[in-house]
């Protein structure tokens, strides 16, 4: 709570509010807990300043990764456990999204979104192996 108060004061004084991702919660062993998006929204409400998120689902992050890896979007997939960040990040970056059901999103929550993942798997262990070209 002290860190939220400090961040709020800094943003009030002109600091830029930058978040890593918009995830409002994340899975933990015994359920879920607040994540970056939830904490950032508290500061946004208090300061009336809107955060800029550098990570998912920001397509800039995905493009930067593709450039760094020297890959084309047709050569990769976005694997994640969230429809609202991971899958939309893939779609907006023209990367096939693979949803794994080992985290936040479930088969039921998929229906809440107007878009769909390319593939739905129970976990990352089900991702098929890929043969790399030399």
Write out pLDDT tens, residues 52-83.
999 888 888 899 999 999 999 999 999 999 99
pLDDT computed for residue 129 by the predictor: 83
pLDDT computed for residue 105 by the predictor: 93
Q: Cα 65 from chain centroid?
A: 14
pLDDT computed for residue 97 by the predictor: 95
Residue 36 to residues 10, 22, 23, 31, 133, Cα–Cα distance (Å): 17, 6, 6, 16, 38
Residues contacting residue 44 through CB under 8 Å, at least 6 positions apart: 17, 50, 51
Residues of the chain with pLDDT under 50: none
Residue with tokens 């450039």: 67
CB 23 within 8 A of CB 85: yes
Considering only CA atoms, which of 46, 62, 108 is closest in space to residue 83?
A: 108
CB 12 within 8 A of CB 29: no
pLDDT computed for residue 94 by the predictor: 93
């Amino acid at each position: 709570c002290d860190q939220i108060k400090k961040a709020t004061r800094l943003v009030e004084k002109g600091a830029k509010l930058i978040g890593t991702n918009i995830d409002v919660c994340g899975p933990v062993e015994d359920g879920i807990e607040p994540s970056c998006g939830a904490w950032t929204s508290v500061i946004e409400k208090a300061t009336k300043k809107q955060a800029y998120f550098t990570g998912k689902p920001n397509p800039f992050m995905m493009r930067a990764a593709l450039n760094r890896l020297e890959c084309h979007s047709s050569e990769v997939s976005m694997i994640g456990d969230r429809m609202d960040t991971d899958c939309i990040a893939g779609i907006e970056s023209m990367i096939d999204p693979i949803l794994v059901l080992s985290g936040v999103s479930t088969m039921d929550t998929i229906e809440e979104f107007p878009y769909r993942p390319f593939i739905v798997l129970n976990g990352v262990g089900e991702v098929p192996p890929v043969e790399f070209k030399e």
